[in-house]
Amino acid sequence: MDQKIYTVRELSHALRNTLESRFRAIRVEGELSGISAPSSGHLYFSLKEGNALIRCAWFRNRQKRGAIVPEEGMQVIADGQISVYESRGDLQLIVTDMQVSGEGALKLAFERLKRKLQAEGLFEPDTKRPLPAFPKTVGLLTSPGGAVLHDMLVTMNRRFPMVRVILYPVPVQGDSAPPEIARMLDIASRRNEVDVIVVARGGGSAEDLQMFNDEEVARAIFRCGIPVISAVGHEIDFSISDFVADHRAPTPTAAAELVTADGSRVRERIRHLSVRLEDLVQRASQQRQQTLDYLSARLARPDHRLRLQQQSRIHLTHRLSARIQRDIESRRIRLNTAISSLRIHSPSSRVDLLRQRADHCRTALDRAMSGHLAERAGQVERLHRAIEILGPSTTLNRGYAIAFDKDGAVIMSPSDVESGDPLDIRVAKGQIAATAK
């Protein structure tokens, strides 16, 4: 029997049809590796587990709004179907949806809430309140039946047994824990009966500590009117409550030490302060005694003090009298100077001086006007005589005549008239009408 011979294309096509019909809808969990995001919007990556690896393709039209952003090393669960990429003969998973799996999902939710609250300012250092140095009453918000409460009470009693403790019982696991923790924080804030609140829980897995990564709990811590210490898990565990609280303690026991003073150190401090206070009181008493002795010595001879006061009075009297005399003399000199100045600048004296200057100016003006008028009269007389000498009437009186044409213009040349033109001849005693020939 002859065995069928497949071409490469036929074999690839057959494998593709078989796998797509057999694994039409499948879910695969693994770690993301080799992520490639070309400009087309498609995503290409691999899912691996140990040495096993399968290639994946997540096409742009299959990516839903709000889908996760793949990151290298992220543990995910991918939904899709198995297929074969015939051009290379590669087995691949065509992804239709993807979500973070296991602790990866918790970590993603943690980071999202952390970024959100940080953007709103719930982590700002300026919002953190200082812890009281010596709290009288401490509130413990934790499970009433856990070992955490016992360890914290033992530590607080050992360090400072005088401190008062109020328990705010809450569940620290289960779905009911977050709303109950938030409710109890609001109750403690309203009662305002403690100086500081410790929110505590022992160590555990990420799922066990998840209620302290709850947004409702975080906001309740932030709005609490009393300083809050977050003591959740072990030193390596961090929760959202740690970032929102006013202070973080690495463990619940460390929180108990933080809110209580060391009794032995407090007693030593009190003893030291008592010694200092006694020394200060003793020195103050000695200084007061010295002051009293000095004042008593001064009061022992009142006549001597009276004599000193009398001498001081006489000295001050002489100084006052000399000062008054100097002041009077100074004022007299200033008065005489003012009188002299007033006499010099008196209005009557100034009026007399101005009157004299006005009379002098008037005389000088009259003298100048008379001379000026006489000079002008002489000039007029000389001009009058010149006019008489040079005027036409004087020339006519000597027998001369002046001829005018019909327009009244003086005839200067025979060419100025023509034969038959009327003429006006002016002589000394009158005028003669004539005709040019």
**pLDDT above 70 (res 303):** no
**pLDDT above 90 (res 298):** no
Degrees (nearest 5) of the Cα angle 122, 169, 171?
75
- pLDDT for residue 421: 85
- pLDDT for residue 264: 61
397 membership: H or E segment, kind and range: helix 392-397
* The two three-digit tokens of residue 382, written as one number: 């000389």
- pLDDT for residue 84: 80
- pLDDT for residue 300: 52
**pLDDT above 80 (res 99):** yes
Q: Give the Cα separation of 137 and 134 in Å (integer).
A: 9
- pLDDT for residue 41: 87
Which are the contacts of 341, defined by CB distance < 8 A and separation ≥ 6?
none
| 3-class DSSP assignment, residue 419 | coil
* The two three-digit tokens of residue 222, written as one number: 């932030």
* The two three-digit tokens of residue 260, written as one number: 């209580």
What average pLDDT does range 252-266 have in this prediction?
A: 79
Q: Give the Cα separation of 159 and 297 in Å (integer).
A: 56
**Residues above pLDDT 90, as percent of the chain:** 13
Which DSSP string corresponds to 18-63? HHHHHSSSEEEEEEEEEEE--TTS-EEEEEEETTEEEEEEE-GGG-
Q: Give the Cα separation of 23 and 174 in Å (integer).
A: 37
- The pTM assigned to this predicted structure is 0.45
Mean pLDDT for all residues in the chain: 83
206-250: pLDDT as tens digits: 666 777 888 898 999 999 999 999 988 777 778 888 899 999 988
Q: Write phi, then psi, for 10 (nearest 5 degrees).
A: -65, -40
Which are the contacts of 57, defined by CB distance < 8 A and separation ≥ 6?
42, 43, 44, 85, 92, 93, 94, 95
148 membership: H or E segment, kind and range: helix 147-159
- pLDDT for residue 194: 93
170-212: pLDDT as tens digits: 998 888 889 999 999 999 999 999 999 999 888 776 666 777 8
Sign of the CA dihedral with 354 first, then 356, 359, and 365 last: negative
Degrees (nearest 5) of the Cα angle 121, 124, 125?
165
* The two three-digit tokens of residue 164, written as one number: 């008062």
Query: CA-based Rg of the chain, rounded to a whole angstrom?
Result: 64
415-437: pLDDT as tens digits: 888 888 898 888 878 889 898 88
Alpha helix positions (H), 192-299: 215-223, 240-244, 252-259, 263-299
- pLDDT for residue 266: 65
In the structure, what pLDDT confidence band is assigned to residue 283 with cuts at 50, 70 and 90?
confident
User: How far out from the chain centre does Cα 352 lie?
Assistant: 75
